[in-house]
Amino acid sequence: MNVVMLLYPRLTQLDLTGPFEVLSRFKELTVHLAWKDTAPVADGAGLRLLPTVAFADCPQADILFVPGGPGQLALMEDAEVLDFLRRQAAGARYVTSVCTGSLVLAAAGLLTGYRATCHWLSLDQLGYFGAVPVAERVVIDRNRVTGAGVTSGIDFALTLMAEIFGEARTKRVQLAMEYDPAPPFAGGSPRSAEAATVAGVEESTAAFQRQRQEVARKVAATLQP
């Protein structure tokens, strides 16, 4: 099975590398990191990653995956990227994302009528595209599988692998990775965090979130019949 993972400038690398770590442990899967060309790509913090295949040479995905990150804004108005995703999704067994990668899928018209999730700060924006926002860690609706913010990528990938290869085998992979989260603080979700902490995150990201919302509304308006 071919896994096509979109690798693009200013993504959040953990959205990609968390699932990559899980998927790479299933030898039936061949993972392709796809971009317009194969030059190194810098994530949102400057970490350089190397695409393995250009769009023009990319095989048909069995699993199509889109990570999130600040670079997602540009992708939502990038006709070349959106066309690539539509072509790949048409033949894919699963169409998937983590974090704001779901907004890119939505901009390509690939989540209309589907339940889906996203990073909590941007979850409501899925509604602009006719998707049904769901505040859950991982959401499965038919062949659409979406994960919430950043760290949920590992949960997303384990959930998807259990769907394909079964729970028993996926549990062994989870144990081999020693994936046993025990965060130093409670409050990794807006549902469990203190109100002051939530307010602080919202305040520090407000300017960028306004920009993200403006782009989402503009792109969604172009998709209206």
pLDDT at 20 over 70: yes
Annotation says 58 is catalytic:
no
pLDDT in tens, 100-150: 999 999 999 999 999 999 999 999 999 999 999 999 999 999 999 999 999
Q: Tell me how far apart the alpha carbons of residues 162 and 180 are, in angstroms, rounded to a whole number.
A: 17
What is the span of the domain harbouring residue 125? 2-223
- Average pLDDT of the chain is 97
The CATH number of the domain where 124 resides is what?
Answer: 3.40.50.880
Q: Which residues contact 76 (CB under 8 A, 6 or more apart)?
A: 82, 103, 104, 107, 215, 216, 219
Q: How many domains does the chain have?
A: 1
Condensed to tens digits (0 to 9), the pLDDT of residues 158-201 reads: 999 999 999 999 999 999 999 999 999 999 999 999 999 999 99
Integer Cα distance of 206 and 78 in angstroms: 24
pLDDT score at 225 = 67
Query: What's this model's pTM, rounded to 2 decimal places?
Result: 0.97
User: Do 50 and 17 contact (CB within 8 A), yes or no?
Assistant: no
Phi, psi (5° rounding) for residue 96?
A: -140, 165
| Active-site entry in 76, 81, 99, 150 | 99
